[in-house]
Amino acid sequence: MGEFSGFPLEEKISQMWRSVPEDAEDKYADNWLEAEYGSLTADLGFLAILTWGPHPASRRRSVWDKVKSAYGEMGAPLHKLTSDQREKLVGCYPLRKGWQGKFLRGMILHLGNSGLSMDEFAGKLKEAGPGVARAALQDVFGTSSSKVIDSYLRDILLLDAFPIDAKVRRVLAKYNIPPDSYGIVAVCQRMEIPVRILARAVQDMAVT
């Protein structure tokens, strides 16, 4: 990506990395979701990511409790849910008529059509790598957006991805870093900065 506002991008990302908390590598390690969500299967991991959105943390936890309870009562994996069960699960999300409902319906439809379980599909995505996985999920969901997908790649599949929303964009602007997920990941990898840890730390910086 070269230069931006007169300074090398590497220098700016290094500066942002130095600004994260000293305990970042522990606080934002790959198991960071366990404190709030517990141990996640492939199905639960996908459902958990769908609870994220422009809501306070307390609202997200409330939605997750409802989703997890409803899914547990169904006694079937995502790829074997009936249409009634699917719609009951969709109804647990506040944006059931928005992206949350669209993404959940899209995934269940894809799993049903492909004959894959969520665990099998997730394994194929992880093996393919972030670029192919992102494109595949955009196709499944019928969207050009990548923020939620990148969150899934980063926190469930544990692939290097840097989700960017309006709040993260403001943090990047503070360091004069262009909001280019691909470029940020590439520079971090080149500099051996842990992408997922930095992305989670910046996400927290964006809401504090």
Same domain, 49 and 127: yes
Q: Which of 116, 137, 155 is the last residue of a domain?
A: 155
- Give the pLDDT confidence score for residue 102 in this predicted structure: 97
- Give the pLDDT confidence score for residue 5 in this predicted structure: 42
Number of domains in the chain: 2
Domain limits for position 19: 3-30+162-207
User: Which pLDDT tens digit goes with each residue over 56-112?
Assistant: 778 889 999 999 999 999 999 999 999 999 999 999 999 999 999 999 999 999 999
Same domain, 43 and 14: no
Same domain, 23 and 72: no
Helices (H), the chain: 9-18, 24-27, 34-37, 42-49, 57-74, 83-90, 99-114, 118-128, 130-141, 147-155, 166-174, 181-191, 195-207
Same domain, 67 and 147: yes
- Give the pLDDT confidence score for residue 208 in this predicted structure: 63
Same domain, 45 and 133: yes
Same domain, 43 and 133: yes
User: Which pLDDT tens digit goes with each residue over 118-139?
Assistant: 999 999 999 999 999 999 999 9
The mean pLDDT value of the chain amounts to 93
